[in-house]
Amino acid sequence: MIEVMALHKRFDKNAALDGLELRVKKGSIYGLIGVNGSGKTTALKAITGILRPDAGEALMDGQPVYENLELKARVGFIPDELFFFGAYSLDECAAFYRRLYPNWNSGRYAEMKERFGLPERGRVTRFSKGMQKQAAFLLTMSVMPDYLILDEPIDGLDPLVRKLVWKYIVDDVAARSMTVLVSSHNLREMEGICDSIGILDKGKMFIERELDELKSDIHKVQAAFPEGTPEEGRYDGLGVLHREKRGAVELLIIRSPEETVRAVIGSRSPLIFDILPLSLEEIFIYELGGERNALGDIIF
Last residue within a domain, chosen from 202, 223, 247:
202
CATH number at residue 112: 3.40.50.300
Instruction: Give yes or no: residues 197 and 255 share one domain.
Output: no
Nearest one of 42, 80, 31, 44 to 207, comparing CA atoms: 31
The verdict on residue 207 lying in a domain is: no
* Residue 293: partners with Cβ closer than 8 Å, 6 or more residues away: 299
User: Judging by beta carbons within 10 Å of its beta carbon (0-12, 13-18, 19+), is residue 266 exposed, middle or buried?
Assistant: exposed
Pairing outcome for strands 298-299 and 291-292 = antiparallel
Considering its fold, how many domains does the chain have in total? 2
Query: Sign of the C-alpha dihedral, residues 227, 230, 232, 236?
Result: negative
pLDDT per residue of the chain (300 residues) written in tens, 0 to 9 = 999 999 999 998 899 999 999 999 999 999 999 988 899 999 999 999 999 999 999 999 999 999 999 999 999 999 998 999 989 999 999 999 999 999 999 999 999 999 999 888 889 999 999 999 999 999 999 999 999 999 998 888 899 999 999 999 999 999 999 999 999 888 988 998 999 999 999 999 999 999 988 888 899 999 999 988 888 889 999 999 889 998 889 999 999 999 999 999 999 899 999 999 888 998 888 887 654 433 334 333
The verdict on residue 167 lying in a domain is: yes
Q: In the prediction, which pLDDT does 210 show?
A: 93
How many angstroms separate the Cα of 49 from the Cα of each of 7, 65, 82, 237?
A: 13, 5, 17, 45
Residue 248: which domain range? 213-299
Instruction: Specify whether the CB–CB gap between 34 and 63 falls below 8 A.
Output: no
Regarding pTM above 0.75, the answer is yes
Q: What end-to-end distance do the CA atoms of the chain give, in Å?
A: 38
CATH number at residue 234: 3.30.70
